[in-house]
Structure 1
């Protein structure tokens, strides 16, 4: 099991399959929610996740591909692009210093 304290997250990657639409909007939303935090939010194709990503957020259907593309990184799957509790936990941990695991 991989885990990280939210305050240690420096790069959060939103990984998707097609590279457009809902995941881009999610990345924009997370940039806004995490403004003022020492974290970069990037959008990436699931098959091209940057090697320096600390946490990868992706749709549950892409989680296994993300695990293969970013071994050793925390993968946080979600089912709903807006308002998913998994995404809320990531934001809260980064802001408050809570632990994230997966």
Structure 2
């Protein structure tokens, strides 16, 4: 478990597995919210997290797989695809420059 300052986040990966489209919606929402902060948001399979990701956002049920796939990355698990407090906290930390721990 590590941390990163919100101002140092340049790339977020939304990692998924089910292929139901919910995580694609979350990635799209994050792109819109973080556009003015020049943060790139990608959607990738949980087993293929890119090395240049600063932060990984994934459903709680996939967090262990995300940690195994990218042990050096900060993993932010969430429960609800849209409107989850953990994701809202990440967006706010990027806006304000607060620390993000995961």
Q: TM-score, normalised by structure 2?
A: 0.96
Aligned partner of 2:15 in structure 1 is 15
Aligned partner of 1:36 in structure 2 is 36
Structure 2's unaligned 5+ residue stretches are none
Equivalences for 1:48-67 in 2 at 5 Å?
A: 48-67=48-67
Aligned partner of 1:68 in structure 2 is 68
Give, in angstroms, the shift of residue 19 of structure 1.
Answer: 3.5
Q: CA RMSD in A?
A: 0.8
Secondary structure of 2:56's partner? strand
Give, in angstroms, the shift of residue 20 of structure 1.
Answer: 4.2
Equivalences for 1:77-96 in 2 at 5 Å?
A: 77-96=77-96
Moved over 4 A (4+): none
Please list the CA deviations of residues 29-64 of structure 1 after superposition, one character each: whole Å capped at 9, or x if unmatched. Answer: 000011111210000000000111010000000000
8 A Cα contact 1:14 1:57, kept in partner: yes
Partners of 1:31 and 1:38 in 2: CA distance: 9
Structure 1's unaligned 5+ residue stretches are none
Q: How many residues align?
A: 102
8 A Cα contact 1:19 1:44, kept in partner: no
